Amino acid sequence: MGILNVTPDSFAESPHIQDPDAAADAALRMEAEGADVIDLGGESTRPGADPVPADEDLARVLPVLERLRGRLAIPISIDTCKAAVARAAVAAGAAIVNDVSGLRRDPAVAGVAVESGAALVLMHSRGTPKSMNEEAVYDDVVAAVARELRASLDAAVAAGLPLERLIVDPGLGFAKRASHSYGVLARLRELAAAIDRPLLVGPSRKSFMREALGDRPPTERDWGSAAAVTAAVLGGAHIVRVHAVGAMVQVVRVADEIRRHDAGRRRHQAS
């Protein structure tokens, strides 16, 4: 999943892409580099970010969707927790809704997916971008993430969404200290077994890597991101959300081969 943020304040891109033509070109480049899906967002969800009204969010993403209609062969995901934005984006061509709040902020997002036939990603988080760091308190982070993601899944199913259209994301860096994000990555296989839904993992350029890499800017964290992406794939992730698509496609393909051979070895031992 290639990240396409059309915001003036995204934490990980430099320069920021706000021109719709440039954004459409970036999406097409990511497709050519091997992306399977493009995740388009018009509102930054980094810790401390200010909320963006729905009309402003739509003014950023709809022109990009219009320019990509009929030109992009892979699906587009709309990164939003607002039902109004999700509805308009799906009508303009998005096939997936990526809700970083897991339906906590606007439960009507589930109804948009039900009505439109879109798939829905439910991410684990707590609070808002302004308050999430204060809520990063866990006795057992994996148990808490699994429990809270199951609550989001239950809400989506209650709204009428079939399980096969639901994907979950443990939300690395969202309401989590660095130790929590590393803990989730290390125990991803356990989380996958507890939830039994496809996993999307988004480690790319996130600040939890400062603990290992020091205080370098996000655009200089791609090697660290490669390590985290490898861990995610080996831990059972089905989708990884990344900035540097071309490089990470290579990382994913090699990690996937390692996982395939390990699965074959385990089957052989079991027989």
236 secondary structure, DSSP code? T
Contacts of 168 (CB under 8 A, 6+ apart): 121, 122, 123, 124, 149, 152, 153, 195, 197, 198, 199, 200
Tokens coding 92: 């303009």
What sign does the dihedral 149-153-155-156 (CA atoms) show?
positive
Containing H/E element for 270? helix 245-270
- Catalytic residue, chosen from 87, 241, 259, 265, is 241
- Catalytic, 176? Answer no
Q: Which of 206, 216, 221, 260 is catalytic?
A: 206
- What is residue 100's three-state secondary structure? coil
Helices 178-186 and 141-158: crossing angle in degrees, nearest 10, is 80
241 is catalytic: yes
Residues designated as active site? 206, 241
